[in-house]
Amino acid sequence: MPAAYERYLVPVVFRPFAEDLAARAAALHPRRILELAAGTGVLTADLLTTAPSAEVTATDLNEAMAALGATRAPGAMWRQADAQRLPFPNGGFDLVVCQFGVMFFPDRVQAFSEVRRVLAPGGRFLFSTWGPLGTHAFEAALQAGLERAFPVDPPRFFRTVPHGCADPAVVAADLEAAGFAVEDGQELTLQGRAESIADLATGYLMGTPVRAAVEERADAPAVRATVVEEMAARLGPEPVTAPMTAYVF
């Protein structure tokens, strides 16, 4: 799963936002950065470039993701870690960053409280979440394909997890419950460019938790073909450029 995620999804979906978030992080002049849910290291690598004097510690709950990330961004210190129980002392970092990871935390207030604990006085927490599913053209098309391929009980992962934290007021309330003051929240829409819709579909079907639902089906190749067909119908001729909306806190 990490290899498919890195090959097919990172260049199209995650790199544009990583470049933006790394620039925002560098503007804060951090010395010790902790990254949560670092995945395969797309943001990590940019942090190492834009903030070269900072010490970067990258973590992910998934050991396979962290192992691949360590090969992509070897300048960081990599560690498997649960954001709800961070294995770091109080006040050890002046910046914590997280790109599209907080939606995966079962208890966001607990995770945010841990972030606050490991931040030094005056430290910052900088992170992004996806907007509503309909504002992400690639994933809206993907979900339509899944609903066509699974007419009875389609996978709801994208609706409930990546796009399940799409209300800025709810995110702000969780932050305040953890003791943070929300300094800024911005809506950000960037363009993703996919040379191949089939490759993008492969990334989603093989590089995310939807993979399990697809592989359980005896007609998995037919599922993929249906998803690709539906995405192509909705996104248009290749190469495809489409908007993706996120919130940055």
49 pLDDT band (50/70/90 cuts)? Answer: very high
Tens digit of each residue's pLDDT (9 = 90 or more) over 78-98 = 999 999 999 999 999 999 999
Q: What is the pLDDT of residue 217?
A: 84
**Domain coverage including residue 169:** 2-248
Coil, strand or helix: which one is 113?
helix
The secondary element (H helix, E strand) that includes residue 112 is helix 108-118
Contact 83, 37 (CB under 8 A): yes
Tens digit of each residue's pLDDT (9 = 90 or more) over 162-209 = 999 999 999 999 999 999 999 999 999 999 999 999 999 999 999 999
What's the pTM value of the predicted model, to 2 decimals?
0.95
Q: What percent of the chain has pLDDT over 90?
A: 97
Please state, in angstroms and as integers, the Cα–Cα distance from residue 138 to each residue in 12, 174, 201, 227, following that order. 10, 28, 9, 12
Instruction: State yes or no: pLDDT of 245 exceeds 90.
Output: yes
Domain count within the chain: 1
Length of the chain, please? 249
CATH number at residue 13: 3.40.50.150
Supply the mean pLDDT for the chain: 96
d(CA 87, CA 89): 7
Candidates 113, 120, 157; CA nearest to 139 is: 157
d(CA 79, CA 52): 20
